[in-house]
Structure formats: structure tokens, C-alpha cells
Amino acid sequence: MVLGTSSGAGKSWITTALCRWYARQGYKVAPFKAQNMSNNARVVHSRQSSTTEFSIADQACGEIGSAQYFQALAAHAVPNVNMNPVLLKPEADTRSQVILLGKVNSELSAMPWRERSEKIWPFIQQSLDYLIADNDVVVIEGAGSPAEINLMASDIVNLRVARYANAQCILVTDIDRGGAFAHLYGTWALLPKTDQQCIKGFLLNKFRGDPSLLAPAPEQLKSLTGIPTIGTIPMLFDHGLPEEDGIFDERTLGKKAGALKVAVVVYPRISNLDEFQPLKNITDLELIWARQPSSLEDVDWIILPGSKHTSTDLAWLKQCGFEQVIEKHIRQGKMVLGICGGLQMLGQVMHDPFNIDGAATGLGHLAIQTTFAKDKQVNKITVRFSQVNGPWSALSDLEVSGYEIHHGKSSRQKADEVNQAPISVEIIPDLAWQNSRGNVLGIYVHGLFEDPVVIKSLFGKEAKTLEVVFNNLADLIGQHIPKETLLSLIK
């Protein structure tokens, strides 16, 4: 089990690297995280033991956190809902949608979060039991810190999981933040005595400099705790793995002379931002995270990404002044792409008869209307573009694979319903539209830029594959943690 001294310590990518490292040793491997909090989700197969009353075999697809999806791919495993049985998707600062075994659970979503633990724990046990029985190695990721004393009583993702699985734990810290040895010692010291015994090694992550300068701290830490420091992982700014939880490292997004400039608008409830990682991997493309309208000046593309709460993010976008800048960009004939919630924002109006998201007036650049349905669409899909006009014409007749996660259903409006505005052109039935000029495209399909055919068609480039990313991460782990140590953790 990979625990951390804080969020952002590197648990997710360390877990991903370990999944690939153990898989390369010939083991059957699966990842697991009891509860994740993220608006970055992936659609996976629902796969549940038929012997349990909690079975959801009637559901073909479900949602899990993106981190566990990529960890499964690194492990050469088919992602399924057991790998992340509980996903919390924040809709506001004090409210989250609860995804249980891949499916929205309205009862749990309405329940105070401290009261959910005992309701959720049987599902976590069931999923973990299933994975342990079906695999040689399960690599478990913790959440935040295991030593938050205000959360220990209701913990279902760190210590309780470690105890239940009798997991061999490593504790990771971000040494680039400073205070790493204090973080390690303080975290260990706050754990109950029995849980301290689960920690088998400390891991220093994101180190820049000469490792010999760390002495004598690792030896002193071991004398205080009895726990060795098993490795020091160097800083890796551009590892190629999609970021999680909205953690953007601006140092990896430097300006590139003469590059195509693509700006992603970062609203407060942005979702599925991980699907833009392939754009970061293109050498002559400058990816910009736009948090204010001035960031959109002189860009070639504007992307309105997905949103966990579209009407709220649309109101934020208008309040901050993005609306006028986007309109100017479109008048100049430059390209705008709206994905899922971004598509809905580009339309004329959003209706909300079931009080799902909130009714709102859109930006008006696509002659479509959206109605929020009670049930969420969660599907893995393969679709084909019809004839696409204007700057997006390279997508014409392409077959692409991706996934849907949305409540809204959109449809074209007639010209007289939108004050004689041009009728939008439907280029994938019920899923994608563009304006008559051809520079505005809206689509419900997530994952476009993860399709090599799309990258080749739009940019003329070959994208770095995930297989290369996973193997590089595993190589790094293997170089900085002794092989005998890694094998001892699974004995």
C-alpha cells in the first residue's frame, strides 16, 4: 500500500509505476483505491462477484477515478469498478456526488459524509476481497494523509484498508516542498502503535540535487522509528502521466516559440482535465491553462472542457469576462472546442426539469438546446464523424473511440427558435454539432485527444503512447528502489 504524508506527495504515479513494475516481473496485478475524490473519471466495465447481494451485474458500465483507470492499464489489467468502489465527485465546496460501484447513489450523496463510512465499508471490503482473490498482487493507493486525527474515526481509505488487507505500506513524501523528514516522522508518530508496524519503508519523492547531502537524516529517522528510507526518487516534471485532482505544474507548460497555442479554460468545477495530457506531449504545441480572460489573448484554440456543475461554471465564466473574449475569438474565425459541459455552454439554453444542474442561458454559439435528464449517460462508445466543415475538416469521416459521462441531452433548435441564428450542423447523431462557419465544434465524446488517429489528423504528429509512459515510470522505480526491497513488500 502506498500512503502519503499529504495530497500531491506522488501516491498516484508511484502506484502506477509499481503496477507496471510488478506486472513486468510476471505477476497478475490490480490497483485499488477504496475512495477517491476527483472530477476526473473514466468509464469502465462493471464487474462484480455474483455471490454478493451488492451485485450490480445489470449495469454494463460505470465510473471510477482516472488514476485507477491508468493504474489498471499499467498493470495490464482490464479496468473495472472494483478498483475504485467509491468515487466522490465535488459539485460544490460542501457537496459531492457519490459514485458507488460505478453508479450514482443519490441516498449516499444526500447523507452527511461522516455518516457514510459504515454504509460504504461493506462495498469496499467486497471489492478488495474480489481483487485479492483474483490477482497475485494488489497495489493499494491511500488518500491524503493517514494521520489526519480529525478523520481517523471515520477512515475508510487509509488505515482501515491497511489493517483489513494486512498491507505492507510505504510512506511517500514530497521532498521538494521542504520539511520532508518532519513530515515522515510526524505522520508516523501520529499513527496508532499497531499501525506504525505496517509501515515498512519511507520514500522520498521529487528530489532535486545530490542525494548524498541527505545524510545523516535517513539514518537518524531510522533510529527514531526503526523504518528505513528505501529510496529517493528524482524530480520528474514531465512524466507523461495525466495529472489528477486539478494539480497543474506550470513548469511543464513553458512557452514555445512559433507553437500552436491551445488554451483550456479552467473553471472551478472542471472535470476530465486528464484527457488533455496528450496535448502536453506534443513538442510544438503550447498548452495554456486559462484561469483569467487575459490568458486567451492571441491563442489559436480555446477549449471549454467538461464540468461537474455546468450552470455554476457557466455563471463563473460570464462573471469573469470570458464570454466577450470567446465571442471575439469566434468572430475572428479561430477555433473553439466544447467538450460535454463545454458543449452545453456553447448552446442557446439549458433546461433542468429535475433540478439536476440548474437552468441557464448559454453562450449562443451553437443553435442547440440541452435538457438535463434524471439518469446519467455513462458509456464507452465508438462513433464516426460525418462531413466536418471549416478548420475542423480533418476530422471528416474519422472513426473515434471515447466515453460519455453526462446528464444533459442536446438537440438542434430551429432558426426561428433562436432569433434567426444559423442552424447548427449535426456531425455525429445526438453527440456533436458545429456552427455554419465551421470554427465552433461541440461534442459529448471525451477522450478525443487520446486517439492517435485524431492527433495525427489534427496536428500531423505521433503522440507518446501510454505504454512508453508506464515503462518509463517502472524503469525509474527500478533504478531508485532496490529490487529485493520491492519483492520483499509482496512476500
Choice between 90 and 444, residue whose per-residue pLDDT is larger: 444
C-alpha torsion sign, points 231, 237, 240, 246: positive
CB within 8 Å of 9: residues ≥ 6 apart:
172, 173, 174, 205
Q: How high is the pLDDT of residue 253?
A: 53
In this predicted structure, the answer to whether residue 60 has a pLDDT above a threshold of 90 is no
Note the residue count of the chain. 491
Most confident of 104-118, 231-245, 303-317, 451-465: 303-317
Between CA 379 and CA 322 the distance in angstroms is 31
Q: How many CB atoms lie within 10 A of CB 193?
A: 6
Q: Tell whether the torsion through CA atoms of 66, 140, 89 and 81 is positive or negative.
A: positive
161, containing H or E segment? helix 159-165
Mean pLDDT of 312-324: 96
Band (pLDDT 50/70/90 cuts) for residue 57 is very low
Q: What is the mean pLDDT of the chain?
A: 90
Residue-level pLDDT at 422:
56
* Cα dihedral sign, 359-362-367-372: negative
Rg, Å, the chain Cα set: 23
What region does 440 belong to: left with phi over 0, alpha with psi -120 to 50, or beta? beta
pLDDT value at residue 119: 92
- pLDDT over 90 (residue 111): no
Q: Is 196 helix (H, G, I), strand (E, B) or coil?
A: helix
Residue burial 88-97, b: 16+ Cβ < 10 Å; e: rest: bbbbeeeebb
Going by pLDDT thresholds of 50, 70 and 90, the confidence category of residue 244 is low
Phi-psi region of 139 (alpha: psi -120 to 50; beta: other; left: phi over 0): beta
Q: Which residues are catalytic?
A: 340, 446
pLDDT at 280: 87
Q: How confident is the model at residue 394 (pLDDT cuts 50, 70, 90)?
A: very high
**Between residues 39 and 46, the one the model is more confident about:** 39
Q: Which of 113-117, 240-244, 470-474 has the lowest mean pLDDT?
A: 240-244
- In whole angstroms, give the CA distance from residue 311 to residue 352: 10
**pLDDT at 286 > cutoff 90:** yes
Mean pLDDT of 244-273: 74
pLDDT tops 90 at residue 287: yes
- More confident: 408 or 186: 186
Output the pLDDT for position 323.
96
Cβ distance 373 to 408 under 8 Å? yes
Q: What distance in Å separates the CA atoms of residue 121 and residue 392, rounded to the nearest whole number?
A: 48
Domains, the chain, ordered by start:
2-239+469-488 (3.40.50.300), 250-463 (3.40.50.880)
Give the Cα separation of 243 and 272 in Å (integer): 10
Q: Does residue 26 or residue 178 have the better pLDDT?
A: 26
Laid out side by side, the sheet with 360-361 consists of 360-361, 349-351, 368-384, 399-412
Whether 419 shows a pLDDT value over 80: the answer reads: no
CA distance 39 to 45: 19
Q: Tell me, what's the pLDDT at 133?
A: 97
* Per-residue model confidence (pLDDT) at position 40: 87
- pLDDT bucket at 254, cuts 50 / 70 / 90: low
Kindly state the average pLDDT of the residues 313-321.
96
**What average pLDDT score do residues 439-452 get?**
94
pTM (predicted TM-score): 0.87
Distances (CA, A) of 369 to 50, 80, 153, 335, 362: 41, 34, 46, 21, 9
Q: Looking at residues 409-430, what average pLDDT do you find? A: 75
Query: For 13-23, what is the mean pLDDT?
Result: 97
Q: Could you tell me the pLDDT band of residue 56, with boundaries at 50, 70 and 90?
A: very low
pLDDT in tens, 146-200: 999 998 888 999 999 999 999 999 999 999 998 999 999 999 999 999 999 999 9
**Residue 319 pLDDT more than 60?**
yes
What is the pLDDT confidence band of residue 315, given thresholds at 50, 70 and 90?
very high
| pLDDT of 417 | 54
Mean pLDDT for 43-59 is: 53
Q: Is the pLDDT of residue 272 over 90?
A: no
Predicted pLDDT of residue 333: 94
Average pLDDT over residues 374-398: 93
What pLDDT does residue 215 have?
93
For the ranges 64-73, 317-326, 403-412, the lowest mean pLDDT is seen at 403-412
The DSSP secondary structure of 282-320, one letter per residue, reads -TTEEEEEESSGGGGTT-SEEEE-EESSHHHHHHHHHHT
93 band by pLDDT with thresholds 50, 70 and 90: confident
pLDDT higher than threshold 90 for residue 414: no
Q: Please, which pLDDT band fits residue 251 given cuts at 50, 70 and 90?
A: low
Nearest alpha-carbon partner for 137 in 274, 284, 1: 1
